[in-house]
Structure 1
């Protein structure tokens, strides 16, 4: 028994001192040590990557905080977000009215890919979810989310997603969207925390950039206001002042087109009076119908905006009929009690909509435009009063001096005529002179009557006054004042029906010139001589286009002539232009219009 125990003890001691068992224990220990070292290295690498990410974040915060140009700042923010979480693609969706994306800035896509995708997102799917619920959002698989709506044709595939709102003074300015981490891993909680920090710094930087931009705009506004005051006090022509204001508004807004539309025909229609931009010549003197947004802004006295003017169902015609326009807004000039015109500010399609700061700035300019128009109106009234005073004086002088002397001369000749009964040839000649003096006195009395007419807006004023009013009204659509000459007894010898037709013909002729001729000079001659009433309208424009077959306006003019037994003649004017002559016979009636 003792021997067995000794053998067992001997065997046990051999097991403890077995070299193979010791080697196994050493191997296990090394494996544990390697695992601990690997875990330690991973931890160190994680700390190092977090440190690097923090340094990148700090550099990004410094970079975006040093830029005060808003457009460049927004692009820097997106690039910084992509760098700080190592994403392939990044974007910033700036929110506009009603929570819609009005500007979309991307990083990671080339221009060809962006063009292939087409219009930037409108805020549906995951992007819309982040708009409705402005808080950080992290997804491993973008397409697996129930709110996902897929990608448009040509869009690169994307899987992982990380989003965070950017707030400025407690209000959501936009959202940062990041997709596809470069190591094909999912975004983690550290990435989300870093992006939130960057978004907070971006909100402060955006606020600073906007304040800086607003201060610059105020400085420019003050400078422009001072220039305007000097121009108004110096008596500079209102047309030049308005053109300068349009140029200034375009420069400060960066717009493609700025127009000022003013009412004509007693406010029944708007016409583009001033324009600035590459397309200014195409829209200048363009009539704006009641279906345009400009006319609606004029009628309501309220500012109207559009993200895509050419495709806006609320707008029909106007400048979009000749120019393709994108974002735009319309500001009424003057208060709601008396709107004097409408300022339009528009950009090309695809550009970002104008922000509220820009709209408010243009409203300030609209007030200055209203002031310029009011001063111009007062000047016109003053000149009109002076003109009417001159007319009264001339009429009195003609009546009291010239006509009386002519009448006395006529009586003298008649007395002399009775003493020359033996000289029939002299008697005939003196008789013709006396008749000419009688006709001259009639013409002068008609002229005096026309000079003494005031600008009354009723149907009782004479044809001369109507012709003068039509000529003055056409100044707004033509862009210059036409020359007007009137001859004969237009107020006394022209029947009412003839006068009505003549005025309609004149309006149609001037409207055609304003729309198609591109003329710089127009001459109007109205004559009532003998038994003929004649209207001649001559311009130096580009003439009648032979390729245009539809000429309903000219057909109406011809019909009016034929109804009165007259004719219409159109001739080319050398070197350029057209001469329209409308002539009808005068009946025996002298029904005053």
Structure 2
């Protein structure tokens, strides 16, 4: 139904749009006004998208239909395609057309009203109204929505500014969380995890990780992550390894499509202590990050690069203080306790040799004191040496060990702080499982590529071994070895899952960090 034709009422409706601070609500309101105040039989609202990629691969903006009224989507898309946006965007240095236009559609033989919505210097959206069956709009129709596009453009600009300010405030809060994470004592993985969590929240991605690719070996190391850490991410990461390495070196972000997802990489500042890329995996491929998205994430990551610089200095200082404490304890033990115990042992031994009565416990005292000296010396040695065990190192060593057998070096990736969170006993079990899995690949798979991933997330440790071999079909499938791996997982409260659909196999061994 067409509402009152009172100009004051029409102005009030248009001004009411400007008070809305949500872009979707602004466009919904503009669409409703256009439908209510004209005799249009059909209506199509189209958003002109941002480029879905960045850099030399960037694509031209493509229209995306947001709303359809009074016609089916196929007819709406056809109308949209026939009319296009020719002449609306304007040429270089020209503003896009902002005024309502009366067009003709040759296919339907009807008039079409076009209402462009311009924000700043770019066409943001385009509203098409298809005339009723008589073919034309009357002057009241045109007058009733005169200025709708301009007012909607102002409202969209206000809503975008408000949303951007809110997102900037949120980014400052997330950056402050990264700052707070480096208050001593802390692990270097703490600020990296806060960085990944912040990127996940700001981008709306399904996954965000901080990843580095070794320039010499091409080894992929995931330092921290948030969101869905799974095989989907592993496949995407494998596909963009070269892009990640390039971004680490030149500091340029990238956005690429991978299957049904969009991969967005924002590098840490290569001039600072830690290098790497914040990698985000977004659902869908039809839309990439907007200019505002890129600006916010770039500023957030650059701020975090400075914080991580400070974190590295703090971390080194912590280690220096710890080393100094170890040296002091070692000196105190050596100069005080050990010497006193050693002197006591000599006195007791001298008393035994001279035949003096030692209360019948001399030999036992000597043994106990000697054991104490040996234990204390062992403690001093451990303080000086530190804990060198590394699950990542063990996994890499196993991969190199099986290189001659497989005929190639398995790719190794780690996700999260595996060295600091995985208990020694569990790490030992994981290396046994990996050895069995690599042995199976060598004996049964006939693979040309093997990938090993280890991850810590949400209180669980997961080991994946993926190959492109012949799969599990066939009589030589290593059932007994898999039973052993399943038994080990069950004993630790976990499970084993093997997927093999045709060619290739994915083995997932998953156990809790604590029981």
1:52 equivalent in structure 2: 5
- Contact in 2 for aligned 1:310/1:325 (Cα 8 Å): yes
Deviation at 1:95, TM superposition (A): 4.0
Deviation at 1:209, TM superposition (A): 1.1
2:160 equivalent in structure 1: 210
- Contact in 2 for aligned 1:225/1:368 (Cα 8 Å): yes
Deviation at 1:349, TM superposition (A): 1.8
- Contact in 1 for aligned 2:244/2:277 (Cα 8 Å): yes
Post-superposition CA distance 1:464-486 (Å, at most 9, x none): x9x93855x559x9xxxxxxxxx
- Contact in 2 for aligned 1:301/1:336 (Cα 8 Å): no
Higher helix share: 1
- Contact in 1 for aligned 2:44/2:128 (Cα 8 Å): yes
Asked if 1:108 is matched to 2:69, the reply is yes
2:47 equivalent in structure 1: 93
1:447 and 1:193 map into 2 onto residues whose CA distance is: 89
1:385 and 1:519 map into 2 onto residues whose CA distance is: 19
Are residues 225 and 452 of structure 1, via their aligned partners in 2, closer, same or farther at CA, if it must alter by over 3 Å?
Answer: closer
Asked if 1:310 is matched to 2:258, the reply is yes
- Contact in 2 for aligned 1:94/1:103 (Cα 8 Å): yes
- Uncovered stretches (5+) of structure 1, i.e. residues with no partner: 1-48, 144-156, 312-323, 413-436, 454-464, 478-499, 526-535, 557-568, 579-593
Deviation at 1:117, TM superposition (A): 8.7
Question: Partner of 2:491: helix, strand, or coil?
Answer: coil
- Uncovered stretches (5+) of structure 2, i.e. residues with no partner: 52-58, 91-95, 348-369, 404-408, 451-483, 495-515
1:551 equivalent in structure 2: 441
Question: Partner of 1:213: helix, strand, or coil?
Answer: helix
Question: Partner of 1:539: helix, strand, or coil?
Answer: helix
Question: Partner of 2:296: helix, strand, or coil?
Answer: helix
Are residues 553 and 359 of structure 1, via their aligned partners in 2, closer, same or farther at CA, if it must alter by over 3 Å?
Answer: farther
2:290 equivalent in structure 1: 355
Deviation at 1:234, TM superposition (A): 6.7
Asked if 1:162 is matched to 2:110, the reply is no
2:149 equivalent in structure 1: 199
1:65 equivalent in structure 2: 18
Post-superposition CA distance 1:388-435 (Å, at most 9, x none): 4456567778988999999999999xxxxxxxxxxxxxxxxxxxxxxx
1:141 equivalent in structure 2: 105
- Contact in 1 for aligned 2:110/2:132 (Cα 8 Å): no
Deviation at 1:184, TM superposition (A): 3.2
Are residues 331 and 299 of structure 1, via their aligned partners in 2, closer, same or farther at CA, if it must alter by over 3 Å?
Answer: same
Are residues 65 and 409 of structure 1, via their aligned partners in 2, closer, same or farther at CA, if it must alter by over 3 Å?
Answer: closer
2:437 and 2:23 map into 1 onto residues whose CA distance is: 50
- Contact in 2 for aligned 1:263/1:270 (Cα 8 Å): yes
Are residues 211 and 512 of structure 1, via their aligned partners in 2, closer, same or farther at CA, if it must alter by over 3 Å?
Answer: closer
2:239 and 2:443 map into 1 onto residues whose CA distance is: 21
> Which one of the candidate residues 70, 76, 84 is aligned to 1:127?
84
Deviation at 1:204, TM superposition (A): 1.1
2:399 and 2:89 map into 1 onto residues whose CA distance is: 61
1:275 equivalent in structure 2: 226
Asked if 1:173 is matched to 2:119, the reply is no
Asked if 1:370 is matched to 2:305, the reply is yes
- RMSD over aligned Cα atoms: 5.8
Q: Trace 1:336-415 onto structure 2 (pairs within 5 A).
A: 336=271, 340-349=275-284, 352-389=287-324
- Contact in 2 for aligned 1:246/1:275 (Cα 8 Å): yes
1:521 equivalent in structure 2: 422
1:296 and 1:395 map into 2 onto residues whose CA distance is: 46
- Contact in 2 for aligned 1:258/1:343 (Cα 8 Å): no
Deviation at 1:72, TM superposition (A): 1.7
Which structure has the larger Rg over C-alpha atoms? 1
> Which one of the candidate residues 441, 464, 468 is aligned to 2:388?
468
| Higher relative contact order, chain-length normalized (CA < 8 Å, sep 6+) | 2
